[in-house]
Structure 1
Amino acid sequence: MTRIDFYTDVAALYPFACRAARTVYRKGERMLIVLPDEAALRGFSAQLWAYGDTEFIPHCAASDALAAETPVLLATDFAADAEGLVLLNLSPAFPDAPQRFPRILEVVGSDDASKATARQRYRRYLDSGFEIHHHNMSDARHD
């Protein structure tokens, strides 16, 4: 069964997501990160390139020719061949066929708009029978 983790009240989304990508990569797992649009994808990719002075998180667009060999894939939709990949959702959209992912990380900012769309996704997961784990990050330092 797919594990769903909601990380809410995240003050700095991209640094938090970079750490999550690093953790998944270090575990030897692959990840699909879905962003809301191409500008966000490019911005997040730049942050992954600059993450840490001595670390490198191999990543590329899910549509890239090297996607099958790359641990972290970036996309603006859920259409990628992502069977078995960990999903990190930074978009407001609900993933199609969420059961194809062993784990889904939903990262939610502290603004009202992010919280409102996250509540809708949360309800859809519950209505689909998924167990959800909630992590309130409001007191956590994650910059």
Structure 2
Amino acid sequence: MTEIGFHYNARDKLNYACRLVRKAVNTRGLRVVVVGDARSLDVVDAALWQLSPVDFVAHCRDDAPAHVVARSAVVLSSQGADAASLPHREMLVNLGLEVPAGFERYERMIDIVSDEANDRQVGRSRWRHYADRGYTIQPHDFAKSS
């Protein structure tokens, strides 16, 4: 069963996502899919390109040629796309408002929620979705860690 981490009250969830992805790839050697809306993916894409050469993370969009997707450590996938159709299965990072399609096929998913009211509200719905299906959720509250 997929291990679910729920990271909420993030002041800057896109910056946090970049740090999380960098650590997952460069420290743990994981292959990661990041799901979100187009604007969020643009921000994450630009931020990953701005990492130092030592911290660079190879990444691409989900519509890149199959051989590029297969070789990239990180794939940025549009919200609503079926993340299960991608070759990576280790870690899924959700920046979107919806439960990612195919999340249950991943070893681990991190759902990131900002401290904004609307994002928190839809985040609660996703939490209920996971809990109602029997997933154990590992919470991480940024408000308690500041």
Q: TM-score, normalised by structure 1?
A: 0.90
- Quick check: 1:92 aligned with 2:92? no
Structure 2 residue aligned with 1:79: 82
1:13: how far off?
A: 1.1
Q: Deviations over 1:100-121 (max 9, x none)?
A: 0110101110011010000000
Where 2:55 maps in the other structure, the secondary structure is coil
Whole-Å separation in 2 of the counterparts to 1:5 and 1:56 = 24
Counterpart of 2:117 (choices 109, 112, 128) is: 112
**1:140 CA drift (Å):** 3.7
1:39 matched to 2:39: yes
Which residue pairs with 1:28 in the alignment?
Answer: 29
Aligned residues: 140
In structure 2, the residue matched to 1:127 is: 132
* Structure 2 residues without counterparts, runs of 5 or longer: none
Confirm or deny: 8 A CA contact 1:9 1:138 kept in the other structure: yes
| Cα offsets for 1:77-110 (capped at 9, x unmatched) | 3424235131000000112232201101011100
Quick check: 2:7–2:113 contact (8 Å CA) kept in 1?
yes
Q: What is the CA-CA distance between 1:139 and the residue it aligns to? A: 4.3
Q: How far apart are the structure 2 equivalents of 1:132 and 1:42?
A: 28
The alignment-based identity, stated in percent, is: 26
Question: In structure 2, what is the Cα distance between the partners aligned to 1:71 and 1:110?
Answer: 28
Query: CA separation in 1, counterparts of 2:15 and 2:39?
Result: 17
Contact 2:58–2:74 (Cα < 8 Å) also in 1: yes
What value does the CA root-mean-square deviation take over the aligned residues? 1.6
Gaps of 5+ in 1: none
Tell me, in whole angstroms, the C-alpha distance in 2 between the residues paired with 1:112 and 1:50: 30
Quick check: which one's helix share is greater?
A: 2
1:102 and 1:34 map into 2 onto residues whose CA distance is: 15
Contact in 2 for aligned 1:18/1:51 (Cα 8 Å): no
List structure 1 segments (4+ residues) > 4 angstroms apart after TM superposition. Answer: none
TM-score, normalisation: structure 2:
0.88
